Amino acid sequence: MNKVRMPKARFGELAIGAGIITQEQLDTALKQQKEGDSRNLGEILRSMNAMDFESVEFVLDIQEKLKNGGCDVEKMLEESHHADDEMEGIRLASTAITKKLGGG
């Protein structure tokens, strides 16, 4: 099993890793926040049509599980109804995160 523990699971990085948004879309949303937009990233990205509600909820679910002691990425991928390419992005992102944190 591929258990991932991440003390600071950032929404934008997870969404990019899942292949849901691009770095450019994240940069645009972060710029809006920096310029005073008080909405969270998910709301901004939805208003940009970069994410839909279901994708925001999916990333938030992963983020919450990572913050609460890790998640079984393989199980989440099996249970998810997201596209295969998004799931492969999450698998790759989780592997990179694990290596970055010294867990594998």
The CA distance from 66 to 103, in Å, is 14
- Number of structural domains (the chain) is 1
Looking at the DSSP assignment, which residues form a beta bridge with residue 72? 3
> What's this model's pTM, rounded to 2 decimal places?
0.63
Residue by residue, DSSP assigns 26-48 as HHHHHHHHHTT--S-HHHHHHHT
Domain limits at 62? Answer: 3-100
Residues 74-95: tens digit of each pLDDT:
566 566 555 566 566 666 665 5
* pLDDT digits 0-9 by tens, 30-82: 999 999 999 999 999 999 999 999 999 989 988 888 777 666 655 665 665 55
